[in-house]
Amino acid sequence: MRNRATWLHSIIASGMLLAASTGIMASAAQAQTGYTATTGFGTFYKPFQADSPWNSRPVNPFLGTYQLRKPLLNPDWIPSISDGAYSVGVFMARASDGPMTIYGKPGTAGVGDPDTGQYHDITIPRWPDNVVPATGEDGHAEVVDTVTGVIHSFYQLTNKNGRWTATMYAWTRLEGRGFGDPAHWSQGARSAGAPPTAGLIRLHELNDNKPHYEHALAISLPAHTLSNGITRASYVYPATTADTNAWLNTGKIPLGTRLMLPASFDTSTLSTAALRKIANTLKLYGAYVVDRNYDTAFSLYVEKGANFNIMPNGQWNTRVVSDLDRIRAGMREVLGADSWLDGNGAPKGGPGGKGLLSMRGDWLLPGTSTPSGAKYDTWMQAVKFPNTARKITTVNYSNGISKVAGSNPAARTPMRFSAVTAGGAMIRLQLWKGYSLAYDSGYLANGSEVKFEWPTGAPAALSVRLLAESGVNTASHARGVLEPQ
pLDDT, average across residues 58-74? 96
User: Residues 124-181: pLDDT tens digits?
Assistant: 999 999 999 999 999 999 999 999 999 999 999 999 999 999 999 999 999 999 999 8
User: Residues 76-134: pLDDT tens digits?
Assistant: 999 999 898 889 999 999 999 999 999 999 999 999 999 988 999 999 999 999 999 99
Burial bucket for residue 342 (CB in 10 Å: 0-12, 13-18, 19+):
middle
pLDDT, average across residues 234-248? 94
CA 289 from centre of chain: 12
Instruction: Provide the phi-psi class of 42: left if phi over 0, else alpha when psi is between -120 and 50, else beta.
Output: left
Return all residues near 350 (Cβ < 8 A) that are at least 6 apart. none
pLDDT, average across residues 399-413? 78
H or E element that contains 219: strand 217-222
Backbone angles phi, psi at 276, to 5 degrees: -65, -40
Is it the case that residue 229 has pLDDT exceeding 60?
Answer: yes
Burial bucket for residue 109 (CB in 10 Å: 0-12, 13-18, 19+):
middle
Is it the case that residue 354 has pLDDT exceeding 70?
Answer: no
How far apart CA 259 and CA 328 sit, in angstroms, is 10
How far apart CA 181 and CA 78 sit, in angstroms, is 34
pLDDT at 477: 97
- DSSP H helices, 105-242, are none
User: Residues 410-452: pLDDT tens digits?
Assistant: 899 999 999 999 999 999 999 999 889 999 999 999 999 999 9
pLDDT at 16: 31
pLDDT at 32: 43
Angle at 324 between CA 320 and CA 327, to 5 degrees: 140
pLDDT at 401: 66
β-pairing, 332-341 vs 163-165, is unpaired
pLDDT at 352: 53
Is it the case that residue 22 has pLDDT exceeding 60?
Answer: no
Q: Which of 481, 468, 449 has its CA nearest to residue 397?
A: 468
Is it the case that residue 15 has pLDDT exceeding 90?
Answer: no
pLDDT at 300: 97
Give the amino acid at 335: L
Average pLDDT value for the chain: 90
How far apart CA 164 and CA 96 sit, in angstroms, is 20
User: Residues 294-326: pLDDT tens digits?
Assistant: 999 999 999 999 989 999 888 999 999 999 999
How far apart CA 428 and CA 430 sit, in angstroms, is 7
pLDDT at 439: 95
pLDDT at 20: 36
Percent share of the chain, pLDDT over 70: 90
Is it the case that residue 193 has pLDDT exceeding 50?
Answer: yes
- The pTM (predicted TM-score) of the whole model is 0.89
Is it the case that residue 206 has pLDDT exceeding 60?
Answer: yes
pLDDT at 406: 74
Is it the case that residue 26 has pLDDT exceeding 90?
Answer: no
